[in-house]
Amino acid sequence: MKSRSLLLITLMLVVAHFHCSRTHLAPNAFFVAKNGNDSWSGKLKAPDQAKTDGPFATLARAREAIRALKASNTLSPGGITIYVRGGTYTLDKTFELTALDSGTEHSPVLWRAYPGETVKFIGGKTISGFGKVTDPGVLSRLDPSARGHVLQIDLKRQGISDFGEIKMTGMGLPIQPTGLELFFKGKAMTLARYPNKGWLTIVQVPQSGKKMIYRGASHTPKDGIPRGRHYGRFVYPGHRPERW
């Protein structure tokens, strides 16, 4: 959703989006772009006309190129900049920079968004192909008004097999984060619950049962009954939970 799902990956690299009145690029640079290729040199900001050279496709390949320069003592005086072209990049594992990737005071290694372009790293996966629920057993558990409106998707067919784990507090509430999270239009979706908002109210606490769980506070009675006394039962409004 392994202790964390892909949707909860912590990125150790943050590329800022900055604006310039004009494009001014560092003389020594590598480029990463959505239309790049890791077999190319990474020295061009866009693919050439023949599609034989151009930017890298991944951050990892740019990191590899920097490490090669350092290992061969050919890191340029004045350093080098890795420009990441605009777009949304999906990462299936944490991208990590260590001491192997750092420059020096006189030859710094800088990672930047390409001037005027927005770069986003997504530690999750875009899913598509939702379909309506058709299983009769599932449909029978849904309110008639909801049938035909509930959608489903097979996450394993989407390449997602680690669903994480939902852990509960002592009060029966999910502990955040809850493993997999689904986002729609930039907003986190709520796990299925009833009611959708707020709480069910307790309308009655029956004063009978096999065993008294709590005797209550006798010094503050209510309607002649010690406040809080219960037998482990309560009555809620409506009948919907009976279908669960």
Q: Kindly state the tokens that stand for 52.
A: 């034989």
Band (pLDDT 50/70/90 cuts) for residue 243 is confident
Every domain of the chain and the residues it spans: 6-122, 193-244
Least confident of 36-40, 54-58, 65-69, 162-166: 162-166
What would the mean pLDDT of 58-72 be, rounded to a whole number?
Answer: 95
- Give pLDDT, residue 173: 59
What would the mean pLDDT of 9-32 be, rounded to a whole number?
Answer: 60
Band (pLDDT 50/70/90 cuts) for residue 112 is very high
Cβ-based neighbours of 155, under 8 Å, separated by 6 or more: 127, 161, 163, 180
Q: Which helix (H) or strand (E) holds 184?
A: strand 183-184
Q: How far apart are CA 178 and CA 5, in angstroms?
A: 10
Nearest Cα neighbor of 86 from 58, 115, 65 is 115
Q: Is the pLDDT of residue 229 over 50?
A: yes
Q: Kindly state the tokens that stand for 73.
A: 């003592």
Cβ-based neighbours of 79, under 8 Å, separated by 6 or more: 26, 28, 103, 104, 106, 107, 108, 109, 110
Q: Kindly state the tokens that stand for 75.
A: 């890191």
Contact 244, 141 (CB under 8 A): yes
Q: What is the mean pLDDT of the chain?
A: 84
- The residue among 63 and 198 whose pLDDT is bigger is 63
| Pairing, β 80-84 against β 151-152 | unpaired
Q: What is the pLDDT of residues 177-214, one digit of tens each?
A: 557 888 899 898 888 888 888 888 999 999 999 999 99
- Give pLDDT, residue 15: 41
Measured in Å, how far apart are the chain's first and last C-alpha atoms?
A: 25
Portion of the chain with pLDDT greater than 90, in percent: 50
Band (pLDDT 50/70/90 cuts) for residue 17 is very low
Band (pLDDT 50/70/90 cuts) for residue 29 is very high
Q: How far apart are CA 186 and CA 209, in angstroms?
A: 48
- The residue among 127 and 5 whose pLDDT is bigger is 127
What would the mean pLDDT of 104-113 be, rounded to a whole number?
Answer: 93
Q: How far apart are CA 197 and CA 9, in angstroms?
A: 29
Tell me the three state secondary structure of residue 220. Answer: strand
Residue 191 identity: L
Q: Is the pLDDT of residue 26 over 70?
A: yes
- Give pLDDT, residue 190: 85
Q: Is the pLDDT of residue 98 over 60?
A: yes
Nearest Cα neighbor of 121 from 86, 71, 156 is 86
Q: Is the pLDDT of residue 121 over 60?
A: yes
Contact 236, 201 (CB under 8 A): yes
